[in-house]
Amino acid sequence: QVKELVLDNCRSEDGKVVGLSSDFENLEFLSMININLLSVSNLPKLNKLRKLELSDNRISGGLEVLAEKTPNLTHLNLSGNKIKDINTLEPLKKLPNLHSLDLFNCEVTMLINYRESVFALLPQLTYLDGFDADEQEAPDSDPEADGDALEDDYENGEEEDDEEEDDLDEEVIDDEEDDEDDLEGEEEEDGVDDEEEDEEEDGEEDEEDEAEEDHPCGEKRKRSLEDEGEEDAEDEEDDEDD
């Protein structure tokens, strides 16, 4: 069961639909872009058809066939055809589910109050040429806009990544500063300890010097006393001999 059929650029010799029959009754999407159509009179009964693409053909009228053969149509694209008058669109009033109609590059779009007239003629329409009556764009009707949205998302993602990288860089810098502060603190403590050790060593050296200075003096005194004792002893011996 075929639900979608694309016949774009398959040129029609007599300007009519050829080859389609009731065998395609389950079609929901039919595209016949640029196939040199002059009329849709040979279109088979397609009750399930929702979207019909007929752009870039030479259709100038006969739209009552659509109301008869495609009663449940919701989207109709007639852009680039030979439709000149608003009245040519009047048969489309019999398509109650028609929500989107595209007449871009048709002469009818050059008429004064074209949009207001079409919306008044076809009150069931929501979008005409991709925009509603308040000039709000139809969703998913502009691929370029979608692309711009994707680019914006990508740029935002990059900005977020850049912000995360900046945060990480700041954290790394903070960690490095903390490490430097710790190293400086350790160096200061080491400096204090070295100074204390130097002071202790200097104190020990001073005590040793003082001890050495005291010790020679004591030895000199002992020697002088010993010498005096020896001299006294010799004097006594001399007196006894006399």
Residue 99 has pLDDT above 50, yes or no: yes
Flag whether 108 is in a domain: yes
pLDDT for the residue 85: 95
Q: How far is Cα 141 from Cα 129, in angstroms, rounded to an integer?
A: 9
66: nearest Cα among 90, 36, 102: 90
State the amino acid at position 189 in one-letter form: E
Residue 67 has pLDDT above 70, yes or no: yes
The count of structural domains within the chain is 1
Complete edge-to-edge strand list for the sheet that includes strand 75-77: 4-6, 29-31, 51-53, 75-77, 100-102, 127-128
More confident residue, 105 or 156: 105
Residue 202 has pLDDT above 60, yes or no: no
106: nearest Cα among 69, 153, 59: 59
Flag whether 135 is in a domain: no
- Mean predicted confidence (pLDDT) in 52-65: 95
pLDDT tens sequence across 172-189:
556 555 555 555 555 544
Reduced to 3 states (helix: H, G, I; strand: E, B; else coil), residue 175 is helix
Q: What is the CATH number of the domain that holds 48?
A: 3.80.10.10
Flag whether 224 is in a domain: no
pLDDT for the residue 13: 73
For 174, the token pair is 């903070």
Flag whether 18 is in a domain: yes
Domain that holds residue 90: 4-128
Are residues 43 and 70 in contact, defined by beta-carbon separation less than 8 angstroms? yes
More confident residue, 17 or 137: 137
Flag whether 33 is in a domain: yes
Q: How far is Cα 101 from Cα 141, in angstroms, rounded to an integer?
A: 12
Flag whether 175 is in a domain: no
Flag whether 154 is in a domain: no
Flag whether 158 is in a domain: no
Q: How far is Cα 60 from Cα 106, in angstroms, rounded to an integer?
A: 10
